[in-house]
Each structure stands twice: as C-alpha cells, then as structure tokens.
Amino acid sequence: RAKIFQASTSEVYGDPSQHPQTEEYWGNVNPVGPRSCYDEGKRCAETLFFDYRRQHDLRVKVARIFNTYGPRMHPNDGRVVSNFIARAKIFQASTSEVYGDPSQHPQTEEYWGNVNPV
C-alpha cells in the first residue's frame, strides 16, 4: 500500500515511438513544443516523487492514466473517447474513425452493441 499516490498521465511519453508503451520506455518528448510544459511538468512530478522515495524510503505509487473521460467532458474536445461518443450519436454506431494503425493496438477492442446513444 502506498503512502503517497501521484496521478500522472500518458503525456509523460510525449509522442511515443513505441506502441504500446512498456514500463521501461522513457518516451519521446519535445521539451520546447507547444504542450511541453504539461508533459514536462508531469515528468518532473514523477521524478520528484521517486527522488523523495529514494531519500526517505517512503512507499509511492504513480499511475499513468490514459484516455480518461467523465460526465462533464466537452463533446468536442478532440479526444478519442469524446470523438467516439459523438460519432456514435451521429451515426448510430454504424461507422467509426480509426486513429493511427490498428495493428499497433491489438488488445483494443470495442463491442459496438454496447454503445447507447443518449
């Protein structure tokens, strides 16, 4: 059980050149890109947590959260989950857009019958 929990993000990987990312993958981050302050901020937070663990022998856990969604997310924010829901509403789940190369994500599966347009 952790004494301290850090909610991190998949953004620490930047624009990954490896799919899916393993725990050993360090990422492909542009430190001066337009969104770099967010990516680097999360990377810095993780670094500080692990430095603190090493210095004080404290149990820490870091979760790198991917594709979060919730009831108050904006339907047009451009993320995968909101785009999926918006397209399901428009097309009644008969079509969908695939992002990237589907062979990169062999474990990702969706059961279209569970999509219930609101």
The angle at the Cα of 68, spanning 63 to 69, to the nearest 5 degrees, equals 150
Residue with tokens 């790198």: 64
To 10 degrees, the CA torsion angle through 30, 36, 37, 42?
-80
CA distance 71 to 81: 12
DSSP code of residue 23: T
| Residue 90 in tokens | 């428009």
Domain ranges in the chain are 1-66, 69-118
Is the Cβ–Cβ distance between 5 and 63 less than 8 Å? yes
Residue 69 is a catalytic residue: no
Reported as a single tens digit per residue, the pLDDT across 82-115 is 777 777 776 665 555 666 666 655 444 333 344 4
Q: Which listed residue (38, 52, 69, 111) is catalytic?
A: 38
For the segment 10-62, what is each residue's pLDDT rounded down to a tens digit? Answer: 888 888 888 777 878 888 888 898 888 988 999 999 999 999 999 999 899 99
Q: What is the pLDDT of residue 117?
A: 41
